[in-house]
Amino acid sequence: MAEPAPITLAPMVHKLLQRSRLETTERNAILNLPHRLEKLDRDAYLIREGETSDNCTVLLSGFVARTKIARGCCRHILAIHLHGDLVGLPSVLLEAADHNIQALTPISVAYIPHDAIKALAETYVTIGQALWRDVVAEGAMFREWIFNLGRRNARQRIAHLLCELSVRQEAAGLCEKPGFEWQMTQEEMAEATGMTVVHVNRTLSGLRNDGLITTSRFSITIRDWPGLQTAGDFNPAYLHHHDRPRPGSSSTR
Amino acid sequence: MAEPAPITLAPMVHKLLQRSRLETTERNAILNLPHRLEKLDRDAYLIREGETSDNCTVLLSGFVARTKIARGCCRHILAIHLHGDLVGLPSVLLEAADHNIQALTPISVAYIPHDAIKALAETYVTIGQALWRDVVAEGAMFREWIFNLGRRNARQRIAHLLCELSVRQEAAGLCEKPGFEWQMTQEEMAEATGMTVVHVNRTLSGLRNDGLITTSRFSITIRDWPGLQTAGDFNPAYLHHHDRPRPGSSSTR
DNA sequence: CGGGGGTTTGAGTGAGCTCAACTATCGTGG
DNA sequence: CCACGATAGTTGAGCTCACTCAAACCCCCG
């Protein structure tokens, strides 16, 4: 938020490097992709269900969510994206969007033409694989969220969400400690975990009382990483990051 | 089950044609992929969480599920695959599997070496795009399942599951009418919808009493397709099939 | 005819929901 | 500087959907 918005595609390169190895020439090829920069307000739609697009959106700063709306009333958050994420990659190969993409905070994005992405992936096979590796890894995150909703109770869901966001923010270079600064509202946490705001609130109190987290207005800090990991049944393997053990966690099992 | 197991990769081609256009030469290139055939019993593991593989598995007949196990006790079904599905495609780019793949029925599969898949995708750009389009479309199905678990009640979840499986089986050429034959147990439906067997049973009774479906041992028949679609809040757009309107449904909205 | 897997039904329980009020914090304008 | 409204968080009380436990039932098969 306070940090200046990036004016290059560097966050995208940084993101791909979490899961793939890229040569300098390949990195430069990515940085030289034609693109258009834009800033958007909170709640702005990057794309709406049913729309088509000939640009691939890359998130350069801020937070974004994939959402669906149930019968015009309640919204559900399907995924949360951090800076560097290639939120628009699926649109390169699909016709109409099957969900919305909405800004959770003020964001800056880059639009890259589909054709440029396709050409790049054909020229540099390694980049193509890096791009698709990210898509496949996002599928793994979806599966974990399915499991989260299907088999875990309120406390586990919230703890798991906090763990995931913490690890991903750390990997994205947004913070260095096992805890993190995060301005997500309880309403949004409810939308992401299939709960109600009221119950999210009570669940957070529970975690707070057990000394796992502390909350302040617009920020949550993780006090006991191993404890929260246990409470959330969290195993970061599904994120498919390069191995990078966290401080304070003796094991990732 | 009664049908003879395929001995070619034809189901894979048929599957890709649901979402992509392929020339004859491209189809033949796929059919000529090196592969090894195998038959597996119900409950057999195609791959287990944590394992690596250098083959991509294609399902040629039968049904398969992606699963995760919660704390050694209860299994959750993350996705269900029909014949023709490239269940092993994610393994081409990821190291360790983050979930299990298990046979729900006796199945026959083909194992294609990763290298052969990669080479094919490089030689024929169209095929590469068709493969990745399927991966992206599977992501769309994951999102719909997240939404199903997060925002729909028991009746809607079950109805939605039946609608999805019906449409996909029809697209896969397994049946021609809006209803379908399906030997899934209520236990498995419970695992796929995050419910208990008991409640699945009661929910199915509800749908039966309302004349939406009829059940017999090891098969469910859809009697009122528009009714079930409404009950399940089902919109097939997320499957990203080529347009192919169903009989009995005046609109897909 | 007995056993086992799957289905059905009943009765009691509880996690999470709904409704509703209240508090805390912040920004804005008089 | 304070009043006000808006947004987000907190707390209480009652309710309900789906769960748990338990017992039948059905059908197929050996």
DSSP symbols for B121-184 = HHH-HHHHHHHHHHHHHHHHHHHHHHHHHHH--HHHHHHHHHHHHHHHHHHTTS-SSSS-----
Q: Which two tokens stand for residue B175?
A: 């049946």
Residue type, A149: L
B98 and A237 within 8 Å at the Cβ level: the answer is yes
pLDDT 10s digits, A7-44: 799 999 999 999 999 999 999 999 999 999 999 988 89
Nearest CA to B30 out of B97, B110, B150 is that of B110
CA end-to-end span of chain B, whole Å? 34
Is the pLDDT confidence value at A107 over 80?
yes
Least CB–CB distance from A143: residue in B50, B66, B133: B66
Mapped onto helix, strand or coil, the DSSP state of residue A131 is helix
Q: Is B75 exposed, middle or buried (0-12, 13-18, 19+ CB in 10 A)?
A: middle
Chain A residues closer than 8 Å to B136 by CB: 89-90, 93-94, 135
pLDDT 10s digits, A163-189: 999 999 888 877 666 666 677 999 999
> Residue B57: left if φ>0, alpha if ψ -120 to 50, beta else—which one?
beta
Is the pLDDT confidence value at A2 over 50?
no
B76 and A193 within 8 Å at the Cβ level: the answer is no
Mapped onto helix, strand or coil, the DSSP state of residue A205 is helix
Three-class DSSP labels, B33-53: CCCEEEEECCCCEEECCCCCC
List the beta bridge partners of residue A66.
A79, A101
Dist CA B48 CA B93 (whole Å): 16
pLDDT 10s digits, B89-103: 999 999 899 999 999
Give residues with Cβ within 8 angstroms of B171, minimum separation 6.
B18, B239, B241, B244
pLDDT 10s digits, A60-106: 999 999 999 987 678 999 999 999 999 999 999 998 999 999 999 99
Q: Among B66-75, B87-96, B173-182, name the one with the lowest average pLDDT.
A: B173-182
Q: List the A217 CA – C30 C1' distance (angstroms).
A: 29
The CA-CA-CA angle for residues B80, B10, B83, to 5°, reads 15
Nearest CA to A173 out of A244, A237, A101 is that of A244
Beta carbons within 10 angstroms of residue A31's beta carbon: 13
Least CB–CB distance from A94: residue in B50, B133, B146: B133
Is the pLDDT confidence value at B200 over 70?
yes
Dist CA A121 CA A95 (whole Å): 19
Most distant CA pair in chain B, distance: 55
Nucleotide nearest to B184 (CA to C1'): C6
- The answer to whether A196 and B150 have CB atoms below 8 angstroms apart is no
Could you tell me how far CA A160 lies from the centroid of its own chain?
14
Chain B 136-165, residues with CB within 8 Å of chain A CB atoms: 136-140, 142-147, 149-152
Q: Cα Rg for chain B, rounded, in angstroms?
A: 18
pLDDT confidence of residue B243: 64
- The answer to whether B162 and B204 have CB atoms below 8 angstroms apart is no
| Mean pLDDT to the nearest integer, B58-73 | 89
- Which positions in strand D are less than 7 Å from the protein's CB atoms? 8-13, 17-22, 27-28
Residue that is written with structure tokens 């990515």 in the block: A30
Dist CA A142 CA B199 (whole Å): 25
Q: Among A96-110, A156-170, A214-228, B110-124, name the one with the lowest average pLDDT.
A: A214-228
| Mean pLDDT to the nearest integer, B64-76 | 87
pTM of the model: 0.93
Is the pLDDT confidence value at B77 over 60?
yes
A149 and B152 within 8 Å at the Cβ level: the answer is no
Q: List the A60 CA – C23 C1' distance (angstroms).
A: 37
Dist CA B19 CA A173 (whole Å): 38
